[in-house]
């Protein structure tokens, strides 16, 4: 059972919330039409971006007003329960509501168990037809889509995307790192080398990766110039020189 001191402190908090919510409701109440609020007879000569800003502010006030009104009703209902002597007792099952819960949500009139039951667990009908993305990888997101076989998207996605673990089926661990695992593409170039330039921008040769260096050493050991074998030597270029 709640003590008189606890109920007094909670009632004080509820009155403070009631005052704040009432003030918010009054400040965000929309009393004029959009045209009257902007103060113009016509929107024709205004840029759409300017009208978008006004629309955003209007919708924001409407959302804040609706939220404040809903919360205010809950607060007033809790204050009425205090007057009737039923505050701190669950309206659904009649059990005592823990003081810690009332400290966190002073206007609640149901226990945590019944509050969880009230949360809807049904999913939208679209879930029956939508195909979830493949788990743990951005590859194969769309069947038959063109791919560059270099994991470029995976590399960029490591910096962040709008995707979350909950957007992927089968990702029970809820780990963001699992979203960016890459695949071993057989068609990807395994050995690479990169052209480099000096501080002035002039060409300065090229740099091989460690894999490329090992690859070249293997060719040297086999006495080959390339995987295709020996490259025929030509004194001239038949494509650009006259026969």
Q: Where are the beta strands (DSSP E) in 38-124?
A: none
From 28-32, 64-68, 90-94, 161-165, the region with the lowest mean pLDDT: 161-165
Nearest to 107 by CA among 84, 87, 78, 133: 78
Q: What is the pLDDT of residue 14?
A: 95
What is the overall mean pLDDT for the chain?
Answer: 76
Give tens-digit pLDDT for 89-98: 999 999 999 9
DSSP state of 205: E
Residues 6+ apart with CB under 8 A from 1: 88, 96
Nearest to 37 by CA among 48, 26, 25, 29: 29
Beta-carbon count within 10 A of 142 CB = 9
Q: Domain 4-117 falls in which CATH fold? A: 1.20.120
CATH 1.20.120.910 in the chain, residue ranges: 4-117
Q: Is 73 or 116 the better-scoring residue by pLDDT?
A: 73
Q: Is 111 or 157 the better-scoring residue by pLDDT?
A: 111
Give tens-digit pLDDT for 142-191: 444 445 555 566 666 666 677 766 666 655 555 666 665 555 545 445 55
Rounded distance, CA 98 to CA 90, Å? 10
């Amino acid at each position: 059972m709640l003590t008189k001191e606890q109920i007094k402190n909670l009632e004080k908090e509820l009155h403070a919330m009631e005052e704040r919510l009432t003030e918010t409701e009054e400040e965000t109440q929309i009393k004029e039409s959009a045209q009257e609020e902007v103060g113009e007879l016509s929107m024709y000569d205004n840029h759409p971006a300017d009208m978008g800003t006004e629309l955003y502010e209007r919708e924001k006030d409407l959302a804040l007003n609706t939220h404040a009104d809903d919360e205010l009703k809950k607060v007033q209902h809790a204050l009425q329960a205090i007057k009737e002597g039923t505050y701190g007792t669950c309206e659904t099952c009649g059990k005592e509501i823990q003081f810690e819960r009332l400290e966190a949500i002073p206007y609640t009139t149901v226990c945590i168990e019944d509050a969880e039951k009230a949360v809807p667990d049904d999913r939208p009908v679209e879930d029956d037809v939508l195909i979830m993305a493949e788990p743990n990888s951005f590859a194969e997101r769309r069947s038959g889509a063109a791919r560059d076989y270099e994991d470029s998207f995976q590399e960029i996605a490591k910096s962040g995307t709008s995707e979350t673990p909950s957007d992927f089926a089968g990702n029970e661990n809820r780990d963001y790192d699992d979203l960016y695992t890459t695949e071993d593409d057989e068609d990807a170039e395994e050995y690479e080398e990169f052209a480099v330039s000096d501080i002035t921008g002039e060409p300065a040769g090229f740099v091989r990766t460690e894999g490329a260096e090992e690859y070249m050493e293997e060719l040297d050991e086999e006495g080959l110039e390339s995987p295709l074998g020996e490259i025929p030597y030509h004194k001239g270029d038949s494509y650009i020189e006259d026969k």
